[in-house]
Amino acid sequence: QVQLVQSGAEVKKPGASVKVSCKASGYTFTDYYMHWVRQAPGQGFEWMGWVIPNSGGTNYAQKFQGRVTMTRDTSISTAYMELSRLRSDDTAVYYCARGDVYYGLDVWGQGTTVTVSS
């Protein structure tokens, strides 16, 4: 079955970086965009951007430009999201989600909790 499995929870200090992975299975990894979305505690969703697994092309939300890097390794069907210069308000659950042109974000990972605290 189609599945996205993310890496485990992280605790980071302010100013540090975090890299979250998302391993895809059950479909052709290069056929779909991979999006990243976050959800702060008790809040709604915030779209961060996408990476095109085929080409490596990216599109980042303006809010995160300069701090986020989305990459992929097609040999292991895995996408990555790295966020730098972490602040306390980056504490959130980070999700990867498969993007389909018609269905939108149709398959989601289980989420990775990132806690930023001194």
Partner 1 sequence: EIVLTQSPGTLSLSPGERAILSCRASQSVNSIYLAWFQQKPGQAPRLLIYGASSRATGIPDRFSGSGSGTDFTLTISRLEPEDFAVYYCQQYGSSPITFGQGTRLEIK
CB 118 → partner 1: shortest distance, Å?
26
Which residues between 96 and 115 bind partner 1 (CB under 8 A)?
Answer: 99, 102-111
Q: Tell me if 72 sits within 8 A of 81, measured CB to CB.
A: no
Could you tell me if 70 and 79 are in contact, meaning their C-beta atoms sit under 8 angstroms apart?
yes
By CB under 8 A, the residues from 26 to 55 that bind partner 1 are: 35, 37, 44-47
CB of 14 to partner 1, least distance (A): 25
CB of 41 to partner 1, least distance (A): 12
By CB under 8 A, name the one of 3, 28, 30, 59 that touches partner 1: 59
d(CA 35, CA 104): 10
What part of residues 2-31 is at the interface with partner 1 (CB under 8 A)? none
Query: What is the nearest approach in angstroms of partner 1 to the Cβ of residue 29?
Result: 19
**Which residues here bind partner 1, judged by CB under 8 A?**
35, 37, 44-47, 59, 61-62, 95, 99, 102-111
